[in-house]
Structure 1
Amino acid sequence: MITLQPIGWVRGGRSDPVDDHWGSEQARIELDPRFPESALYGLDSFSHAEVIFFFHKVTEEKIETGARHPRGNTDWPLAGIFAQRGKNRPNRLGLCTCSILGVSGRTVTVGGLDAIDGTPVLDIKPVMREFLPRGSIRQPEWAGALMKDYW
C-alpha cells in the first residue's frame, strides 16, 4: 500500500473536467500549510512545471483496466488504458506540463493545467530540457486527432 498526501490543491480554473481547450486556462496551485514558502524558492526561474495530480472526481466504478476506444470513438482503435492518457486510470494519476506564470508566497499560478478546481496536487517538478525526450517522438494517428483541440 502506498499512502500519499497532497502537497496542495488546484484553485480556480475550470470546475468541470471537459476534454478540450485547456490551453487558455489559468489556475493556482496553493501549497498545503505544512510547506513553507521556501518550498517554492527558485521555481519562478523555470518556464514550465510538471504537475502530478489526483483525479479526485473519478469514482471506483469508472476506472478502466483494459482496452477501450479513446473517448468512446469507434473510428479509433482499441487502446489499453496505459496506451492513452484518460482520467479513468487505475491509480487516477494525472500529469500535465504547464507554464509557470508566477510564484507568490505558497502559491504557483500556472497556465494550461488540465486539472479542475479542488484537484489534489501530489507533486510539482520543474521542466528541465535534459529530462525531455531524446530523439524523435512517435505516436499513432488517432492520438494527434484526439489532441487537435485539447490545448
Structure 2
Amino acid sequence: MSDTIKTFPEMALRPVGVVHSSIKTPMLLAGKSDLSLTERMDMIKAHHRQVEACICELVIEPQWEELLDGIEGFSHVLVLYWPHLIDPARRNLRKVHPMGRRDLPMQGIFATCSPARPNPVLVSAVPLVARAANVLTVKGLEAVDGSPIIDLKPYSKNYLQVDNLKMPAWMEQIHRELEDDNI
C-alpha cells in the first residue's frame, strides 16, 4: 500500500436508502477471471429498452428526508448505488472483456463500467419524475431491486457536462449495437 493511501482515515459508507425496481437480476455476472452476460445480445437490447422505460422508486431513509428538500427543482439526479449482488470475492478482477463479450479486447476494470470493481460504487444520471416525501420516482435506472443507495446528487450541466468526449472504438461499438435495431 502506498504511503498516500496509508494516511487516509478509515472510510465507511452506509446506505441512505434503497432502490425498488422491476429489475430483479443483474445483466452481468462476475466470474473468477472475467465477466459473463446473463443474456444474448438481442435480449440485452430488449433489457436496455426495458431499463430506459423502467420506473423505479428511490426510498430514502426517513431520517434523511430533509436532505431531499429542493431536489424536485432538478430534472435529473445522479444516483450512486452499490451492486449488492456482486460476490465480494469477485471484486478482485483486474481486467475484463467489456460486458463479458469475448469479441472485445480485455480492458482494465477502471476503463469499464463493470460492477465488479474494488469499490463497486455505480452511478447513473436519470430523469427525476416525482418526489413524495422521502420517495423519489426516477426513470431509466439500471439498478437491481434492493440495491443500497449511497448518495444522491442533482445533475447540473455546469459541473458535469463534458465537451469533446472521446471513447475507445469498443465502447462506441457497444453503443451503436445497443441503438441499432438491425443488429
TM over 0.5: same fold? yes
In 1: Cα distance, 2:162 partner to 2:19 partner: 31
Tell me: CA distance 1:104–1:54, structure 2 relative to 1, closer, same or farther (3 Å): same
Which TM-score applies when normalising by structure 1? 0.90
Please, which moves more after superposition, 42-51 or 19-28?
Answer: 19-28
Equivalent runs, 1:65-144 vs 2, <5 Å: 65-144=93-172
What is the aligned partner in structure 1 of residue 58 from structure 2?
29
Q: Secondary structure at the match of 1:71?
A: helix
TM-score, normalisation: structure 2: 0.75
Larger radius of gyration: 2
Summarize deviations over 1:30-86 as a string: whole Å, max 9, x none: 1112223x3212111111001100111000222243112112322211110000001
**Which range moved further: 10-19 or 134-143?**
10-19
Mapped pair 1:59 → 2:68: no
Distance 2:60 2:19 in 1: 9
| RMSD, aligned CA | 1.6
1:15 shift after superposition: 1.1
Report the more deviating stretch, 127-136 or 11-20.
Answer: 11-20
1:146 positional shift:
2.3
Q: CA deviation at 1:137?
A: 0.2
Instruction: Give the deviation of 1:134 after TM superposition.
Output: 3.6
Residue pair 2:17, 2:58 contacting (<8 A) in 1 also: yes
- Structure 2, unaligned runs of 5 or more: 1-9, 29-46
- The residue aligned with 2:74 is 46
Q: Which has the higher helix share?
A: 2
Q: Judging changes above 3 Å, is the alpha-carbon distance between structure 1 residues 31 and 25 closer, same or farther for their aligned structure 2 residues?
A: same
Runs of 4+ aligned structure 1 residues displaced above 6 Å come to none
Task: Figure out how many residues of one structure are paired with residues of the other and give that number.
Answer: 149
What is aligned with 2:11? Answer: 2
What is the CA-CA distance between 1:114 and the residue it aligns to?
1.2
> Aligned to 2:53, what secondary structure does the other structure show?
coil
Aligned counterpart, 1:16: 25
Alpha-carbon distance between aligned partners in 2 of 1:134 and 1:98, rounded to the nearest angstrom: 17
Partners of 1:5 and 1:63 lie apart in 2 by 19
Aligned equivalents of 1:48 and 1:56: distance in 2?
Answer: 24
Q: CA deviation at 1:116?
A: 1.1
